[in-house]
Structure 1
Amino acid sequence: MQNFDVVVIGSGPGGYVAAIRSAQLGFKTAVIEREALGGVCLNVGCIPSKAMITATHMLHRAQHDFKTMGLNIKGGIDVDMKTLVKWKQSVCDKMSGGVNQLLKGNTVTILKGEATFKTTKELTLKSASGTDTVTAKHFIIATGSRPIEIPGFPFDEKDICSSTGALNFDEIPKRVVAIGGGYIGLEITSYLRKLGSEVIVVEAQNSLLAGVVDPECAQVVTRKAEKAGIQFKFGAKAKGQKKTKDGYEVTVEINGKDEVIKCDKILVTVGRRPNGDQANLKGVGIAVDERGFVKVDAQRRTNIPHIFAIGDICGQPMLAHKASHEGVMVPEIISGINRVYDAKTVPAVVFTDPEIASAGMTEAECKAKGFNDLLISKFPFAANGRAVSMMETDGFVKMIADKKTHVLLGVHIVGPEASNLISEAALAIEMGARLEDVALTIHPHPTLGETMMEAAEATLGHAIHIIQKPLTGAKSAHA
């Protein structure tokens, strides 16, 4: 039997952070992991997908933009898929190895195996070396989520794949059908299209990322994806698949009629479900809702006071950085610090081409919260010198503010490096900044970051680098 002050179950971006903070606060801490340190994010999610997206973005630029710049490559560029996947894996291994070093450096005990609650104070740990018992004064559940599997499309991760299999292809697939036009499906199909795969996306909604991102941002991505050759079938439902001698036939229902699509690989990305049905959580009385999320309060405490839950397992948004934030918070609460989860915004990024990033509320969400009098404007990347010099001018920065107070309510970016630009917006919203705070902050030139300042000026009604019609009720930032 092993005894600890804090035991963290799961070593993803929530779990390993929680374990490190617990140890820093002086608790005897263990983290349990059944697969690879770093969890889904570092090994089969965020990190490997960004590696593949980065590589194929470079490939696309070399094939399409270099000649315009006068950079002529003699002959074509050969893609060695096995080497590309090997390089991607090396990135994951470095990150996972870094987590291992951080945990050991902070004197966290790493336990490999499958954890199951025996009682609310005791776990059974099954590993290759046998079965052990682990007890703790406090438990932090950070067991994450898994891809949703739909009827008729069982994952084999070779031909019918979740995101995990789609990041490990040995060779470039000729024809891919992606079921689900959410952010995971769009990120993966974007990289596959740049490698030369024919891609058809089957989406049940009538638009991409409906209810997930600002609709105008989604339109920019949809147009560019269609221009790149990705086909979208909206209002479509995948009914089944059949193996043939040269691949698969996927039956899709569109407007009440069946259509058959031939392909080599099937990608299923219809979302993720929390692992609330694992580790015998319900069996020891931990409250889990009908969707599989562990019920928690604002301190991420479950109905059993010494057991907490963080990350995907305890609710939306199912994002790594939200999990990490909770991973720092919960050990501090255990130590006696009076904290609650009260973030004004959790920024979100979709690594499509171009990227989409958002912080705060959309226009629809603002109105639902009672903000009916709004200032809204956009500043295009086409008017930004740095974006022009990069040959990446698609998209814009859009700002939404309360017309009465000028307090920033939402920022939505579609364009180059949106993922890096959104942090300024998140900080502004967290601090309760007004449009004037952003507009009067001197931004360095020439940078993409200037678009934030210019968008604030545009929302106030007096952008310098675009011609605007006067906005009703617009005031100078200096007034």
Structure 2
Amino acid sequence: MDNQYDVVVIGSGPGGYVAAIRAAQLGSKVAIVEKYNTLGGTCTNVGCIPTKALLDSSERYHQAQEQFQAHGIQLNGIRLDFEQFIRRKADVIKQNTAGLAYLMKKNKIDVHTGTGSFIDATHLRVVAGEQETILTGRYFIIATGSKPSSLPGISIDKKRIITSTESLSLPAIPASMVIIGGGVIGVELASIYARIGTRVTIIEYTDSLIATMDRELGKALYKTLSALKINILLGSQVQGATAQGETAEVRYLDQQGQAQTITADYCLVAVGRRPYTDGLHLEAVGIVPEKNGKIAVNAQLQTTVANIYAIGDVVAGPMLAHKAEEEGTFAAEIIHGHHPRINYQLIPSVVYTWPEVAAVGATEEQLKAQGITYRVGKFPYLASARARASMDAEGFVKVLVSPQYGEILGVHIIGPRAADVIAQPVAAIEHEITVEEMFRISYAHPTYAEALKDAYLMAGGQGAINI
């Protein structure tokens, strides 16, 4: 194998593999470096994809218990085969990683398995056990992603005090679990385990779940998760956690500042993620990570070294797979002399609970803080014929628009298939389509997307017309 390349991508997650494929499509000779034996990074192996597999499986089990009888479906002796529950997740991962391997071959991208570390700005050492390979590259794209974070006073032993990674492959259904963190990762994993019978407690430092999103979404999600009998402790500060043999003990201060202790089979730490650049030997090329561990880049995603770019979780911005994908394409095209653009304000946020949560654009809190005048259109799924037919009538669509020109400022959804429905508002805001133009187009009936039309109508000063 000739180890001289036009572009070397370090990391094979969503940002990395997309960057590699796009660079190959544009005519470059490309290599991708991955420390693990399978491609796909955190998202494919221990993040987005396996989590969604378990979320879907757990929701089906929950529906069988709670809703099938209303549909006229009688089941006797329903039980969860937890081994198969986990095995299906593993099969989904296998299918996705096999697909990525195929794409590498199809696009003639060389895959080097091992840990990459810079020798200088044009050479990368890749070490796998006793084997060492030196790659030469004109350009490098750092796409090494992130790892779970922890808190002071908490030592993650991966046995009783665990991260999201370990939570996806537990040996049996836990009787109880404490989840530290009420962000996206925390609420998704809480949903999975609560649906299959685990007594779940979420401890969240702020006064809202999914605190970075519109506050109404957090309030609605609180109600949804409470209905699953999840105990949610907001405004509570974790002081520490220790493993106690077959259990874990978590110490925290409640809303009144009183010291409390809770014991469970597992303590899951879901307080966010940190950039992962361990072993890259960045000092060899003069790149100094910022205090938060992220790599500084300019508007072209170029580091302080002209031929080295960085994307995804290792640079500023939300740690989202689709954000990394956009940056992967962007960096590859910049390297090849193109002039792409990314509108970071229009990268949607999604939470894959059920109902799903999705949003794009400004929140009400942001508009108020900036003194921007806006009009609200809000339509409940309870009034949607499609949602009632599928017994998914929980949640709402909220549209925020400028009263002056009808510009859509933000769309916030909690409801069925919100992750898919949000794509339409993203396109609308990107292309500056007005709220009137959005409510005058035809929506298939009955669909979940019709809730958008009614929210647009209401935000535009009209009344809802659909059921």
Q: Judge same fold: TM > 0.5, yes or no.
A: yes
Give deviations 1:376-395, integer Å, cap 9, x for gaps. Answer: 12011011110000101111
- Does structure 1 conserve the Cα–Cα contact (< 8 Å) formed by 2:217 and 2:357? yes
- Does structure 1 conserve the Cα–Cα contact (< 8 Å) formed by 2:377 and 2:457? no
Pairing 1:204–2:174 present: no
What CA distance in whole angstroms lies between the structure 2 residues aligned with 1:409 and 1:118? 47
Matches within 5 A, 1:352-431: 352-371=353-372, 373-431=373-431
Give deviations 1:8-35, integer Å, cap 9, x for gaps. Answer: 0000000001111111111110000001
Pairing 1:90–2:98 present: no
What CA distance in whole angstroms lies between the structure 2 residues aligned with 1:243 and 1:162? 14
Of stretches 271-280 and 329-338 in structure 1, the one that deviates more from structure 2 is 271-280
Q: Which amino acid aligns with 1:337?
A: H
Distance 1:363 1:18, change over 3 A: same
- Does structure 1 conserve the Cα–Cα contact (< 8 Å) formed by 2:202 and 2:231? yes
- Does structure 2 conserve the Cα–Cα contact (< 8 Å) formed by 1:298 and 1:340? no
- Does structure 1 conserve the Cα–Cα contact (< 8 Å) formed by 2:238 and 2:251? yes
Task: Find the counterpart in structure 1 of residue 321 from structure 2.
Answer: 320
- Does structure 1 conserve the Cα–Cα contact (< 8 Å) formed by 2:161 and 2:242? no
Task: Find the counterpart in structure 2 of residue 220 from structure 1.
Answer: 220
Give deviations 1:438-475, integer Å, cap 9, x for gaps. Answer: 101100001001111111001112233489xxxxxxxx
- Does structure 1 conserve the Cα–Cα contact (< 8 Å) formed by 2:154 and 2:242? no
What CA distance in whole angstroms lies between the structure 1 residues aligned with 2:452 and 2:288? 43
Give deviations 1:406-444, integer Å, cap 9, x for gaps. Answer: 110100000111001000010001111110121011000
Of stretches 380-389 and 278-287 in structure 1, the one that deviates more from structure 2 is 278-287
**Partner of 2:135: helix, strand, or coil?**
strand
Of stretches 136-145 and 199-208 in structure 1, the one that deviates more from structure 2 is 199-208
What CA distance in whole angstroms lies between the structure 1 residues aligned with 2:228 and 2:303? 47
What CA distance in whole angstroms lies between the structure 2 residues aligned with 1:205 and 1:213? 13
- Indicate which of 52, 60, 63 corresponds to 2:62: 60
Number of aligned residue pairs: 464
Distance 1:342 1:221, change over 3 A: closer
Task: Find the counterpart in structure 2 of residue 448 from structure 1.
Answer: 448
What CA distance in whole angstroms lies between the structure 2 residues aligned with 1:175 and 1:278? 37
Give deviations 1:149-183, integer Å, cap 9, x for gaps. Answer: 22333223332111000111111000101111111
TM-score normalised to structure 1 length: 0.94
**Partner of 1:67: helix, strand, or coil?**
coil
- Does structure 2 conserve the Cα–Cα contact (< 8 Å) formed by 1:157 and 1:166? no
What CA distance in whole angstroms lies between the structure 1 residues aligned with 2:132 and 2:343? 40
Query: How far did 1:129 drift?
Result: 4.7
Distance 1:295 1:169, change over 3 A: same
Pairing 1:438–2:438 present: yes
- Does structure 1 conserve the Cα–Cα contact (< 8 Å) formed by 2:115 and 2:279? no
What CA distance in whole angstroms lies between the structure 1 residues aligned with 2:217 and 2:143? 32
- Does structure 2 conserve the Cα–Cα contact (< 8 Å) formed by 1:146 and 1:275? yes
**Partner of 1:115: helix, strand, or coil?**
strand
**Partner of 1:69: helix, strand, or coil?**
coil
Q: Which amino acid aligns with 1:214?
A: D
Query: How far did 1:251 drift?
Result: 1.5
**Partner of 1:32: helix, strand, or coil?**
strand
Query: How far did 1:228 drift?
Result: 1.5
- Does structure 1 conserve the Cα–Cα contact (< 8 Å) formed by 2:160 and 2:243? no
Distance 1:362 1:261, change over 3 A: same
What CA distance in whole angstroms lies between the structure 2 residues aligned with 1:103 and 1:245? 45
- Does structure 2 conserve the Cα–Cα contact (< 8 Å) formed by 1:148 and 1:271? yes
Task: Find the counterpart in structure 1 of residue 251 from structure 2.
Answer: 251
Distance 1:143 1:221, change over 3 A: same
**Partner of 2:445: helix, strand, or coil?**
coil
Task: Find the counterpart in structure 2 of residue 341 from structure 1.
Answer: 342
Query: How far did 1:242 drift?
Result: 3.7
- Does structure 1 conserve the Cα–Cα contact (< 8 Å) formed by 2:439 and 2:457? yes
What CA distance in whole angstroms lies between the structure 1 residues aligned with 2:151 and 2:90? 28
What CA distance in whole angstroms lies between the structure 1 residues aligned with 2:398 and 2:456? 9
Task: Find the counterpart in structure 2 of residue 239 from structure 1.
Answer: 239
Matches within 5 A, 1:125-164: 125-164=126-165
Query: How far did 1:233 drift?
Result: 1.4
Query: How far did 1:128 drift?
Result: 2.7
**Partner of 2:18: helix, strand, or coil?**
helix
Of stretches 245-254 and 231-240 in structure 1, the one that deviates more from structure 2 is 245-254
Task: Find the counterpart in structure 1 of residue 47 from structure 2.
Answer: 45
Give deviations 1:349-381, integer Å, cap 9, x for gaps. Answer: 01123211001111222344452x211120110
Distance 1:168 1:5, change over 3 A: same
Distance 1:236 1:404, change over 3 A: same
What CA distance in whole angstroms lies between the structure 1 residues aligned with 2:200 and 2:193? 8
Query: How far did 1:260 drift?
Result: 1.3
Give deviations 1:266-312, integer Å, cap 9, x for gaps. Answer: 10000001124541224421242211111111111111111111111
Of stretches 341-350 and 243-252 in structure 1, the one that deviates more from structure 2 is 243-252
**Partner of 1:357: helix, strand, or coil?**
strand
Give deviations 1:194-216, integer Å, cap 9, x for gaps. Answer: 01000111111112122x11111
- Does structure 2 conserve the Cα–Cα contact (< 8 Å) formed by 1:176 and 1:263? yes
Give the aligned CA root-mean-square deviation in angstroms: 1.6
Give deviations 1:218-241, integer Å, cap 9, x for gaps. Answer: 111101211211001122122223
Task: Find the counterpart in structure 1 of residue 107 from structure 2.
Answer: 106
What CA distance in whole angstroms lies between the structure 2 residues aligned with 1:378 and 1:278? 49
Q: Which amino acid aligns with 2:50?
A: P
TM-score normalised to structure 2 length: 0.96
Distance 1:7 1:55, change over 3 A: same
What CA distance in whole angstroms lies between the structure 1 residues aligned with 2:417 and 2:28? 39
Query: How far did 1:246 drift?
Result: 4.8
- Indicate which of 72, 75, 89 corresponds to 2:74: 72
**Partner of 1:66: helix, strand, or coil?**
coil
Give deviations 1:10-67, integer Å, cap 9, x for gaps. Answer: 0000000111111111111000000130000001000000000000101111101111
Identity of aligned residues (%): 38
Task: Find the counterpart in structure 1 of residue 173 from structure 2.
Answer: 172
**Partner of 2:250: helix, strand, or coil?**
strand
Gaps of 5+ in 2: none
Task: Find the counterpart in structure 1 of residue 462 from structure 2.
Answer: 462
What CA distance in whole angstroms lies between the structure 1 residues aligned with 2:95 and 2:181? 31
Distance 1:276 1:154, change over 3 A: same
Task: Find the counterpart in structure 1 of residue 9 from structure 2.
Answer: 8
Distance 1:239 1:366, change over 3 A: same
**Partner of 1:110: helix, strand, or coil?**
strand
**Partner of 1:218: helix, strand, or coil?**
helix
